[in-house]
Amino acid sequence: MSTASRLPGIVTTDHVFQSPLDHAAPQGEQIEVYAREVVAAGRETDDLPWLLFLQGGPGGKAGRPLGRDGWLERALDEYRVLLLDQRGTGRSTPATRQTLARRGGAREQADYLAHFRADSIVRDAELIRRRLLGDDHRWNVLGQSFGGFCALTYLSIAPDGLREAFITGGLSGLRSSADDVYRAAYPRVVRKNEDHYARYPQDVEVVRRITARLAAAPAALPGGGLLTVEAFQSLGMMLGGGSGSGSLHYLLEEAWVEGAAGPELSDTFLAGVQAKLSFAEGPLYAVLHESIYGQRSVDPAGTAWSAERVRKEFTEFDAGAALESGAPVLFTGEMIYPWMFDTDPALRPLKETADLLAARTDWPDLYDPARLAANEVPVVAAVYHDDMYVDTADSLETARAVRGLRAWITNEWEHDGLRVSGGKVLDRLIAMAHGEA
Protein backbone atom coordinates (compact mmCIF):
# COMPACT_ATOMS: atom_id res chain seq x y z
CA MET A 1 0.00 0.00 0.00
CA SER A 2 1.40 3.41 -1.00
CA THR A 3 0.91 6.61 0.99
CA ALA A 4 1.35 10.09 -0.54
CA SER A 5 2.35 13.30 1.27
CA ARG A 6 2.84 16.91 0.18
CA LEU A 7 5.80 19.06 1.20
CA PRO A 8 6.97 22.41 -0.19
CA GLY A 9 7.47 21.87 -3.91
CA ILE A 10 7.32 18.07 -3.83
CA VAL A 11 4.96 15.14 -3.53
CA THR A 12 6.30 11.99 -1.86
CA THR A 13 4.87 8.49 -2.01
CA ASP A 14 5.85 5.63 0.30
CA HIS A 15 6.49 2.18 -1.17
CA VAL A 16 7.17 -1.04 0.74
CA PHE A 17 8.29 -4.19 -1.06
CA GLN A 18 8.77 -7.77 0.05
CA SER A 19 12.19 -9.04 -1.00
CA PRO A 20 14.00 -12.33 -0.34
CA LEU A 21 16.65 -12.19 2.33
CA ASP A 22 18.70 -14.43 0.02
CA HIS A 23 17.97 -13.76 -3.64
CA ALA A 24 19.38 -17.20 -4.45
CA ALA A 25 16.46 -18.62 -2.43
CA PRO A 26 13.51 -16.46 -3.54
CA GLN A 27 10.94 -18.60 -1.73
CA GLY A 28 12.78 -18.36 1.56
CA GLU A 29 12.70 -15.72 4.30
CA GLN A 30 11.38 -12.34 3.19
CA ILE A 31 12.35 -8.87 4.42
CA GLU A 32 10.77 -5.47 3.79
CA VAL A 33 12.51 -2.89 1.65
CA TYR A 34 11.22 0.67 1.80
CA ALA A 35 11.60 3.40 -0.82
CA ARG A 36 10.27 6.95 -1.03
CA GLU A 37 9.18 8.28 -4.43
CA VAL A 38 9.69 12.03 -4.87
CA VAL A 39 8.28 14.10 -7.73
CA ALA A 40 7.97 17.84 -8.32
CA ALA A 41 4.60 19.22 -7.24
CA GLY A 42 2.29 19.48 -10.22
CA ARG A 43 4.10 16.74 -12.16
CA GLU A 44 2.69 13.75 -10.32
CA THR A 45 1.01 12.32 -13.43
CA ASP A 46 3.77 13.23 -15.93
CA ASP A 47 5.60 10.44 -17.74
CA LEU A 48 9.03 11.13 -16.22
CA PRO A 49 12.16 8.96 -16.31
CA TRP A 50 13.00 7.40 -12.94
CA LEU A 51 16.20 8.12 -11.01
CA LEU A 52 17.10 5.63 -8.28
CA PHE A 53 19.30 7.16 -5.57
CA LEU A 54 21.74 4.86 -3.78
CA GLN A 55 22.93 6.39 -0.51
CA GLY A 56 26.49 6.36 0.79
CA GLY A 57 27.44 4.21 3.74
CA PRO A 58 27.24 1.28 4.04
CA GLY A 59 24.33 1.11 6.43
CA GLY A 60 22.94 4.59 5.81
CA LYS A 61 19.29 5.26 5.13
CA ALA A 62 18.32 7.61 2.31
CA GLY A 63 17.84 11.29 3.10
CA ARG A 64 14.48 12.58 4.31
CA PRO A 65 13.55 15.50 2.01
CA LEU A 66 11.71 18.51 3.40
CA GLY A 67 11.22 20.10 0.01
CA ARG A 68 13.12 20.83 -3.19
CA ASP A 69 16.48 21.12 -1.49
CA GLY A 70 20.05 20.11 -2.28
CA TRP A 71 20.61 17.96 -5.34
CA LEU A 72 16.87 17.18 -5.52
CA GLU A 73 16.32 20.72 -6.81
CA ARG A 74 18.16 19.76 -9.99
CA ALA A 75 17.02 16.13 -10.20
CA LEU A 76 13.31 16.97 -10.02
CA ASP A 77 13.57 19.18 -13.08
CA GLU A 78 13.45 16.04 -15.20
CA TYR A 79 13.24 12.90 -13.05
CA ARG A 80 10.94 11.03 -10.73
CA VAL A 81 13.33 10.17 -7.89
CA LEU A 82 13.26 7.02 -5.78
CA LEU A 83 15.11 7.26 -2.44
CA LEU A 84 15.93 3.71 -1.37
CA ASP A 85 16.42 2.73 2.26
CA GLN A 86 18.94 -0.02 1.59
CA ARG A 87 18.14 -3.28 3.34
CA GLY A 88 18.66 -3.09 7.08
CA THR A 89 18.37 0.71 7.24
CA GLY A 90 15.65 3.27 7.93
CA ARG A 91 12.18 1.88 7.28
CA SER A 92 13.45 -1.25 5.59
CA THR A 93 13.54 -4.23 7.98
CA PRO A 94 16.10 -2.79 10.40
CA ALA A 95 19.29 -4.54 11.48
CA THR A 96 20.44 -3.21 14.87
CA ARG A 97 21.56 -4.62 18.21
CA GLN A 98 17.87 -4.74 19.20
CA THR A 99 16.53 -6.56 16.15
CA LEU A 100 19.52 -8.83 15.58
CA ALA A 101 19.25 -10.17 19.12
CA ARG A 102 16.07 -11.97 18.00
CA ARG A 103 17.97 -13.97 15.41
CA GLY A 104 20.01 -15.94 17.93
CA GLY A 105 23.74 -15.96 18.56
CA ALA A 106 26.60 -14.26 16.78
CA ARG A 107 26.92 -16.96 14.12
CA GLU A 108 23.26 -16.64 13.12
CA GLN A 109 23.56 -12.84 13.08
CA ALA A 110 26.68 -12.93 10.91
CA ASP A 111 25.09 -15.36 8.44
CA TYR A 112 22.07 -13.06 8.22
CA LEU A 113 24.17 -9.92 7.65
CA ALA A 114 26.19 -11.65 4.93
CA HIS A 115 23.15 -10.89 2.72
CA PHE A 116 23.38 -7.12 3.24
CA ARG A 117 26.13 -6.16 0.81
CA ALA A 118 26.01 -4.38 -2.56
CA ASP A 119 25.03 -7.46 -4.56
CA SER A 120 21.88 -7.95 -2.46
CA ILE A 121 21.08 -4.22 -2.56
CA VAL A 122 21.27 -4.27 -6.36
CA ARG A 123 19.01 -7.31 -6.58
CA ASP A 124 16.51 -5.53 -4.32
CA ALA A 125 16.65 -2.59 -6.71
CA GLU A 126 15.99 -4.83 -9.70
CA LEU A 127 13.00 -6.38 -7.96
CA ILE A 128 11.64 -2.90 -7.25
CA ARG A 129 12.27 -1.73 -10.83
CA ARG A 130 10.28 -4.60 -12.27
CA ARG A 131 7.39 -4.05 -9.86
CA LEU A 132 7.23 -0.27 -10.37
CA LEU A 133 8.12 0.04 -14.06
CA GLY A 134 7.73 -3.42 -15.55
CA ASP A 135 10.35 -5.72 -17.03
CA ASP A 136 10.85 -3.71 -20.22
CA HIS A 137 11.49 -0.27 -18.71
CA ARG A 138 14.94 0.87 -17.60
CA TRP A 139 15.72 3.51 -15.05
CA ASN A 140 18.68 5.72 -14.14
CA VAL A 141 20.83 5.36 -11.04
CA LEU A 142 22.67 7.96 -8.98
CA GLY A 143 25.21 6.49 -6.56
CA GLN A 144 26.97 8.57 -3.91
CA SER A 145 30.12 7.12 -2.28
CA PHE A 146 29.20 3.52 -1.29
CA GLY A 147 26.15 4.04 -3.48
CA GLY A 148 28.61 4.45 -6.36
CA PHE A 149 30.18 1.11 -5.41
CA CYS A 150 26.67 -0.33 -5.65
CA ALA A 151 26.21 1.30 -9.07
CA LEU A 152 29.34 -0.50 -10.31
CA THR A 153 27.92 -3.75 -8.97
CA TYR A 154 24.66 -2.93 -10.78
CA LEU A 155 26.58 -2.49 -14.04
CA SER A 156 28.29 -5.82 -13.35
CA ILE A 157 25.27 -8.00 -12.60
CA ALA A 158 22.18 -6.31 -14.03
CA PRO A 159 23.10 -3.65 -16.62
CA ASP A 160 19.95 -4.36 -18.63
CA GLY A 161 18.00 -2.56 -15.91
CA LEU A 162 19.89 0.70 -16.39
CA ARG A 163 19.48 3.55 -18.84
CA GLU A 164 22.22 5.83 -17.43
CA ALA A 165 24.46 5.77 -14.35
CA PHE A 166 25.68 8.81 -12.41
CA ILE A 167 28.38 8.25 -9.79
CA THR A 168 29.72 10.80 -7.29
CA GLY A 169 32.78 10.02 -5.17
CA GLY A 170 32.16 6.32 -5.62
CA LEU A 171 34.48 4.71 -8.19
CA SER A 172 35.95 1.93 -6.09
CA GLY A 173 38.94 -0.18 -7.06
CA LEU A 174 37.60 -3.23 -8.89
CA ARG A 175 40.42 -5.44 -7.64
CA SER A 176 41.63 -3.56 -4.57
CA SER A 177 41.83 -5.62 -1.40
CA ALA A 178 40.90 -4.11 1.95
CA ASP A 179 44.61 -3.85 2.75
CA ASP A 180 45.17 -1.99 -0.53
CA VAL A 181 42.37 0.41 0.35
CA TYR A 182 43.78 1.28 3.78
CA ARG A 183 47.41 1.47 2.67
CA ALA A 184 46.29 4.14 0.23
CA ALA A 185 43.95 5.80 2.74
CA TYR A 186 46.27 6.47 5.68
CA PRO A 187 48.61 8.79 3.71
CA ARG A 188 45.57 10.76 2.49
CA VAL A 189 44.43 11.14 6.09
CA VAL A 190 47.89 12.42 7.05
CA ARG A 191 47.53 15.12 4.40
CA LYS A 192 44.08 16.08 5.70
CA ASN A 193 45.59 16.43 9.20
CA GLU A 194 48.34 18.64 7.82
CA ASP A 195 45.75 20.80 6.05
CA HIS A 196 43.70 21.10 9.24
CA TYR A 197 46.63 22.09 11.44
CA ALA A 198 47.84 24.57 8.82
CA ARG A 199 44.40 26.19 8.87
CA TYR A 200 44.03 26.04 12.67
CA PRO A 201 47.54 25.92 14.18
CA GLN A 202 46.09 26.60 17.62
CA ASP A 203 44.44 23.15 17.49
CA VAL A 204 47.82 21.40 17.73
CA GLU A 205 48.18 22.17 21.44
CA VAL A 206 44.45 21.72 22.15
CA VAL A 207 44.50 18.22 20.67
CA ARG A 208 47.70 17.30 22.50
CA ARG A 209 46.17 18.48 25.79
CA ILE A 210 42.98 16.47 25.26
CA THR A 211 44.99 13.41 24.25
CA ALA A 212 47.14 13.62 27.38
CA ARG A 213 44.02 13.89 29.54
CA LEU A 214 42.44 10.84 27.89
CA ALA A 215 45.68 8.85 28.09
CA ALA A 216 45.58 9.37 31.86
CA ALA A 217 41.90 8.39 32.15
CA PRO A 218 39.26 7.87 29.42
CA ALA A 219 36.18 10.09 29.73
CA ALA A 220 32.59 8.91 29.98
CA LEU A 221 30.31 10.13 27.20
CA PRO A 222 26.68 11.16 27.85
CA GLY A 223 25.26 8.13 26.01
CA GLY A 224 27.27 5.61 28.01
CA GLY A 225 30.19 5.39 25.61
CA LEU A 226 33.83 5.73 26.50
CA LEU A 227 36.11 8.39 25.02
CA THR A 228 39.56 6.85 24.77
CA VAL A 229 42.56 8.29 22.93
CA GLU A 230 41.79 6.09 19.92
CA ALA A 231 38.13 7.13 19.92
CA PHE A 232 39.14 10.80 20.09
CA GLN A 233 41.47 10.30 17.12
CA SER A 234 38.62 8.78 15.12
CA LEU A 235 36.94 12.20 15.01
CA GLY A 236 39.16 12.63 11.95
CA MET A 237 36.35 11.08 9.93
CA MET A 238 35.02 14.66 9.89
CA LEU A 239 37.99 15.85 7.83
CA GLY A 240 36.69 14.30 4.63
CA GLY A 241 33.80 16.75 4.19
CA GLY A 242 33.98 20.26 2.80
CA SER A 243 33.13 21.85 6.15
CA GLY A 244 34.57 19.07 8.31
CA SER A 245 37.79 20.80 9.30
CA GLY A 246 35.92 23.87 10.49
CA SER A 247 33.37 21.78 12.36
CA LEU A 248 36.13 19.86 14.12
CA HIS A 249 37.84 23.12 15.09
CA TYR A 250 34.65 24.53 16.57
CA LEU A 251 34.15 21.33 18.54
CA LEU A 252 37.69 21.52 19.91
CA GLU A 253 37.54 25.18 20.89
CA GLU A 254 34.88 24.40 23.53
CA ALA A 255 36.69 21.37 24.93
CA TRP A 256 37.67 22.79 28.33
CA VAL A 257 35.91 24.44 31.25
CA GLU A 258 37.09 25.39 34.73
CA GLY A 259 35.48 22.98 37.18
CA ALA A 260 35.60 22.86 40.96
CA ALA A 261 38.81 20.81 40.85
CA GLY A 262 40.39 22.63 37.91
CA PRO A 263 40.19 22.28 34.09
CA GLU A 264 37.99 19.45 32.83
CA LEU A 265 36.45 18.37 29.54
CA SER A 266 33.21 20.27 29.08
CA ASP A 267 29.77 18.72 28.79
CA THR A 268 29.36 20.67 25.55
CA PHE A 269 32.43 19.00 24.07
CA LEU A 270 31.53 15.53 25.30
CA ALA A 271 27.98 15.83 23.96
CA GLY A 272 29.35 16.95 20.58
CA VAL A 273 31.79 14.04 20.53
CA GLN A 274 29.00 11.62 21.44
CA ALA A 275 26.96 12.83 18.46
CA LYS A 276 29.91 12.25 16.11
CA LEU A 277 31.08 8.89 17.42
CA SER A 278 27.91 6.98 18.27
CA PHE A 279 26.74 4.36 15.76
CA ALA A 280 23.30 4.06 17.38
CA GLU A 281 21.57 5.44 14.27
CA GLY A 282 23.60 3.37 11.82
CA PRO A 283 25.29 0.31 13.36
CA LEU A 284 25.60 -1.44 9.99
CA TYR A 285 28.14 1.19 8.97
CA ALA A 286 30.51 -0.24 11.56
CA VAL A 287 29.51 -3.89 11.34
CA LEU A 288 29.68 -4.15 7.55
CA HIS A 289 32.22 -1.48 6.69
CA GLU A 290 35.20 -3.64 5.77
CA SER A 291 33.00 -6.26 4.11
CA ILE A 292 32.22 -3.80 1.30
CA TYR A 293 35.75 -4.51 0.07
CA GLY A 294 35.61 -8.28 0.60
CA GLN A 295 35.91 -10.33 -2.60
CA ARG A 296 37.22 -13.87 -2.52
CA SER A 297 39.40 -13.26 -5.58
CA VAL A 298 41.30 -10.41 -3.87
CA ASP A 299 40.77 -11.11 -0.14
CA PRO A 300 40.97 -14.92 0.08
CA ALA A 301 41.82 -14.73 3.80
CA GLY A 302 39.00 -12.29 4.58
CA THR A 303 39.36 -8.64 5.51
CA ALA A 304 40.48 -9.62 9.04
CA TRP A 305 40.19 -6.13 10.59
CA SER A 306 42.34 -4.64 7.85
CA ALA A 307 42.24 -1.03 9.05
CA GLU A 308 43.58 -2.05 12.46
CA ARG A 309 46.35 -4.24 11.00
CA VAL A 310 47.45 -1.73 8.37
CA ARG A 311 47.48 1.14 10.86
CA LYS A 312 50.50 -0.45 12.53
CA GLU A 313 52.46 0.30 9.34
CA PHE A 314 51.86 4.05 9.84
CA THR A 315 53.56 4.95 13.10
CA GLU A 316 52.73 8.64 12.71
CA PHE A 317 49.27 7.78 14.11
CA ASP A 318 50.80 6.60 17.41
CA ALA A 319 49.41 9.21 19.81
CA GLY A 320 51.68 8.19 22.67
CA ALA A 321 54.79 8.66 20.57
CA ALA A 322 53.49 12.03 19.38
CA LEU A 323 53.01 13.19 22.96
CA GLU A 324 56.55 12.15 23.84
CA SER A 325 58.16 13.77 20.81
CA GLY A 326 56.14 16.98 20.84
CA ALA A 327 54.64 16.22 17.41
CA PRO A 328 51.00 16.94 16.53
CA VAL A 329 48.61 14.11 17.40
CA LEU A 330 47.02 12.87 14.18
CA PHE A 331 43.37 12.00 13.73
CA THR A 332 42.39 8.87 11.84
CA GLY A 333 39.72 8.78 9.11
CA GLU A 334 36.96 6.55 7.78
CA MET A 335 38.31 3.45 9.49
CA ILE A 336 36.44 0.97 11.65
CA TYR A 337 38.42 -0.68 14.44
CA PRO A 338 37.54 -3.64 16.68
CA TRP A 339 37.89 -1.53 19.85
CA MET A 340 34.84 0.48 18.73
CA PHE A 341 32.74 -2.53 19.69
CA ASP A 342 33.95 -2.06 23.27
CA THR A 343 33.54 1.71 23.60
CA ASP A 344 30.17 2.23 21.86
CA PRO A 345 27.08 0.81 23.65
CA ALA A 346 25.23 0.50 20.32
CA LEU A 347 27.96 -1.82 19.03
CA ARG A 348 28.93 -3.84 22.12
CA PRO A 349 26.31 -6.60 21.62
CA LEU A 350 27.52 -7.01 18.01
CA LYS A 351 31.23 -7.47 18.78
CA GLU A 352 31.36 -11.23 18.16
CA THR A 353 29.17 -10.85 15.07
CA ALA A 354 31.59 -8.28 13.65
CA ASP A 355 34.54 -10.56 14.42
CA LEU A 356 32.89 -13.39 12.47
CA LEU A 357 32.23 -11.13 9.49
CA ALA A 358 35.84 -9.92 9.55
CA ALA A 359 36.99 -13.56 9.48
CA ARG A 360 34.68 -14.57 6.63
CA THR A 361 36.58 -15.84 3.59
CA ASP A 362 33.81 -16.66 1.10
CA TRP A 363 32.63 -13.20 0.03
CA PRO A 364 31.45 -13.34 -3.60
CA ASP A 365 33.09 -10.94 -6.01
CA LEU A 366 31.13 -7.71 -6.41
CA TYR A 367 32.42 -6.57 -9.81
CA ASP A 368 32.74 -8.25 -13.19
CA PRO A 369 35.72 -6.62 -14.96
CA ALA A 370 34.97 -8.37 -18.26
CA ARG A 371 31.38 -7.18 -18.28
CA LEU A 372 32.40 -3.66 -17.29
CA ALA A 373 34.98 -3.63 -20.08
CA ALA A 374 32.14 -4.37 -22.52
CA ASN A 375 29.72 -1.94 -20.85
CA GLU A 376 27.08 -0.28 -23.02
CA VAL A 377 25.31 1.84 -20.38
CA PRO A 378 26.30 5.54 -20.43
CA VAL A 379 28.21 6.21 -17.20
CA VAL A 380 29.46 9.57 -15.91
CA ALA A 381 31.31 10.07 -12.65
CA ALA A 382 32.56 12.91 -10.46
CA VAL A 383 35.99 12.09 -9.06
CA TYR A 384 37.00 14.41 -6.22
CA HIS A 385 40.74 14.95 -6.55
CA ASP A 386 41.27 15.47 -2.81
CA ASP A 387 38.81 12.79 -1.67
CA MET A 388 39.81 11.43 1.74
CA TYR A 389 37.44 8.47 1.59
CA VAL A 390 37.88 7.05 -1.93
CA ASP A 391 41.31 6.82 -3.51
CA THR A 392 41.67 8.97 -6.63
CA ALA A 393 44.13 6.55 -8.25
CA ASP A 394 41.68 3.67 -7.77
CA SER A 395 38.89 5.82 -9.18
CA LEU A 396 40.82 6.74 -12.31
CA GLU A 397 41.90 3.14 -12.89
CA THR A 398 38.27 2.05 -12.63
CA ALA A 399 37.20 4.86 -14.95
CA ARG A 400 39.57 3.46 -17.56
CA ALA A 401 38.30 -0.08 -16.98
CA VAL A 402 34.60 0.69 -17.57
CA ARG A 403 33.88 1.04 -21.27
CA GLY A 404 32.47 4.45 -22.15
CA LEU A 405 32.74 5.92 -18.65
CA ARG A 406 33.34 9.67 -18.69
CA ALA A 407 34.98 11.11 -15.57
CA TRP A 408 34.95 14.69 -14.33
CA ILE A 409 37.93 15.24 -12.03
CA THR A 410 37.52 18.23 -9.75
CA ASN A 411 39.00 19.71 -6.58
CA GLU A 412 36.22 22.26 -6.27
CA TRP A 413 34.35 19.89 -3.98
CA GLU A 414 35.20 17.33 -1.34
CA HIS A 415 33.57 13.91 -0.96
CA ASP A 416 30.23 15.49 -0.01
CA GLY A 417 30.03 17.59 -3.20
CA LEU A 418 26.68 16.12 -4.25
CA ARG A 419 25.08 17.18 -0.97
CA VAL A 420 26.63 20.62 -0.55
CA SER A 421 26.89 21.92 -4.11
CA GLY A 422 23.24 22.89 -4.42
CA GLY A 423 22.73 20.67 -7.45
CA LYS A 424 25.84 21.85 -9.34
CA VAL A 425 27.58 18.47 -9.27
CA LEU A 426 24.51 16.61 -10.50
CA ASP A 427 23.83 19.28 -13.12
CA ARG A 428 27.34 18.82 -14.54
CA LEU A 429 26.97 15.03 -14.67
CA ILE A 430 23.58 15.23 -16.39
CA ALA A 431 25.03 17.63 -18.95
CA MET A 432 27.93 15.24 -19.57
CA ALA A 433 25.58 12.29 -20.01
CA HIS A 434 23.50 14.26 -22.51
CA GLY A 435 26.52 15.44 -24.47
CA GLU A 436 26.19 19.05 -23.32
CA ALA A 437 29.45 19.22 -21.34
395 is catalytic: no
Residue 88: name the closest of 108, 61, 110 by CA.
61
| From 47, 136, 160, 362, active-site residue | 362
Angle between helices 203-216 and 178-199 (to 10 degrees): 120
Q: Give residue 396's identity as a one-letter amino acid code.
A: L
Residues in the chain: 437
Cβ–Cβ under 8 Å, residues 66 and 6: no
304 conformational bin, left if phi > 0, alpha if psi -120 to 50, beta if neither: left
How many DSSP H helices and E strands does the chain contain?
Answer: 19, 13
Q: Which residues face 257 on adjacent strands?
A: 264
Residue 62 DSSP one-character state: P
| From 115, 196, 289, 415, active-site residue | 415
State phi, psi for 85 to the nearest 5 degrees. Answer: -85, 100
Half-sphere exposure (CA, 13 Å, Cβ side) for 266? 11
| From 145, 172, 176, 177, active-site residue | 145
- For the chain, state the CA radius of gyration: 22
State phi, psi for 4 to the nearest 5 degrees. Answer: -105, 145
362 is catalytic: yes
Q: Give residue 126's identity as a one-letter amino acid code.
A: E
| Residues with a known catalytic role | 145, 362, 415
